[in-house]
Amino acid sequence: MRIIDTPHRLSLARIEQAATIIDPVFLRSPQFDCEPLSQALPCRLTLKVETLNPLRSFKGRGADFFMRENARRLAGRTLVCATAGNWGQAVAYVCRARAWPLVVYTATNANPLKIARMRAMGAEVRMHSDDFDAAKEEARRFCADTGGFFVEDGLEPAIAEGAGSIGVELLRYDRDFDAVLLPLGNGALLTGVGRWIKAQAPGIRVIGVCSEGADAMAVSWREGRIIERAAVQTIADGIAVRCPVPEAVADMAGTVDDVLLVSDAAIERAMHLLRSKAGLIVEPAGAAGVAAIVEHPSLRGQRLATVLCGSNVLQEST
């Protein structure tokens, strides 16, 4: 396939490359039309299941591609990241494979399951404040003091390009979608997948989904300027962004057609539907796309796809 790269921070050529070179455990994830779920919503819905890998999330794609692209220039430096959980697990996984030192900052109220997995993979986990963005600032201070490299989800282009490999796979098997619904946290999933879709099939609408209790990314995109919130309130920790990454918001321009908000009640309903109709346990952020169909009747009756991006839950939700 000949790739024509229009000016953008995210490279189509690198997205295509990522789909061939990142760790095979993250590639070629299951993709299928789920008839029972489609009938319940109702619509025709394709699920892209990014939970059947060692991390139970899509984050390994971006972490692995980032390391492949940057290992040489970062040699000898400790990597540092801040995370609600899944991103830290992904960086821990790729760092362990390379015997690379990693320090992870989390909030004190982060998911204990995710913290335990990061430590099991050899990361040094430091818990700071009960606010994720305060933990992120502490990570930056640590890097300034020690010379560590802060690898920020949503900022580094290679992370979004790695996530964009999902879009390559999604369109490889089907292009007959009215819209693709993607959870929107720091933006790597939405911008990476959306960048590929808009270049290959511009008629497909790319729709981000935020929790209404963490709407900073949605509002920043709509207003064309960075809007921070004083706090977030949502069960979906994976998309609970209070302070958007400016570069990620800029990457949404020309790539994203709409951003929808969903309630926690809709997210819980989506999780229940995914378990009962598809046999899948999905964490709140991972169910955001299905929650959008639950909450927004205008999507019903359409040909849709969504990415189930994580399943790190402490217990099944009802």
Whether residues 99 and 112 fall in one domain: yes
Query: Tokens 């400016």 map to which residue?
Result: 246
Tokens encoding 16? 């295509």
What is residue 49's predicted lDDT score, i.e. its pLDDT?
98
123 and 169 fall within a common domain: no
* Eight-class DSSP state of 310: B
**Residue 195 in domain:** yes
Helix, strand, coil percentages (3-state) for the chain, rounded to 5, are 45, 15, 40
Strand stretches in 166-301, DSSP E: 179-183, 205-211, 258-262
Is 318 within a domain?
no
From 150, 180, 201, the end of a domain falls on 150
Boundary of a domain, candidates 113, 128, 150: 150
pLDDT of res. 10: 98
CA atoms within 13 A on the CB side of 5: 10
- The token duo for 228 is 């921070």
My answer on whether 221 and 255 are in the same domain is yes
Same domain, 222 and 107: no
Other CB atoms within 10 Å distance of the CB of residue 265: 12
CA distance 249 to 260: 15
Q: Which residues of the chain have pLDDT under 70?
A: 1-6, 315-318
User: pTM of the entire structure?
Assistant: 0.95
- My answer on whether 261 and 171 are in the same domain is yes
Q: CB-based contacts of 169: which residues, under 8 Å, 6+ apart?
A: 19, 27, 28, 29, 31, 48
Q: Let me know if residue 155 belongs to a domain.
A: no
Q: How far apart are CA 288 and CA 267, in angstroms?
A: 6
106/215 same-domain check = no
Do 180 and 97 share a structural domain? no
Q: Are residues 51 and 123 in the same domain?
A: no
Domain membership flag for residue 116: yes
Cα–Cα distance, 316 to 283 (Å, whole number): 9
Q: Residue 176 falls within a domain, yes or no?
A: yes
Please identify, among 119, 150, 181, the residue that sits at the C-terminal boundary of a domain: 150
| Same domain as 107, residue 52 | no
Q: How many domains does the chain have?
A: 2
pLDDT digits (tens, 9 = 90+) for 46-104: 999 999 999 999 999 999 999 999 999 999 999 999 999 999 999 999 999 999 999 99
Q: Is residue 48 part of a domain?
A: yes
The predicted pLDDT at position 4 comes to: 53
Domain region containing 96: 59-150
- Predicted confidence at residue 234, as pLDDT, reads 97
Nearest to 27 by CA among 61, 56, 77: 61
SS3 for 103?
A: strand
Angle between helices 59-70 and 157-173 (to 10 degrees): 130
Q: 63 and 85 share a domain?
A: yes
Evaluate whether residue 189 is within a structural domain: yes
Q: What is the pLDDT of residues 245-276, one digit of tens each?
A: 999 999 999 999 999 999 999 999 999 999 99
Shared domain check, 76 and 140: yes
Instruction: Specify the CATH number for the domain of residue 185.
Output: 3.40.50.1100
Q: Which DSSP string corresponds to 265-290?
A: HHHHHHHHHHHHHH-----TGGGHHH
**280 and 268 together in one domain:** yes
Residues in the chain: 318
Q: Give a yes or no: residue 196 inside a domain.
A: yes
Task: Please state, as a whole number, how many other Cβ atoms lie within 10 Å of the Cβ of residue 250.
Answer: 17
* CA 222 to each of CA 196, 227, 238, 264: distance values in angstroms, whole numbers, following the listed order: 21, 10, 21, 22
DSSP β-bridge partners for residue 32? 47
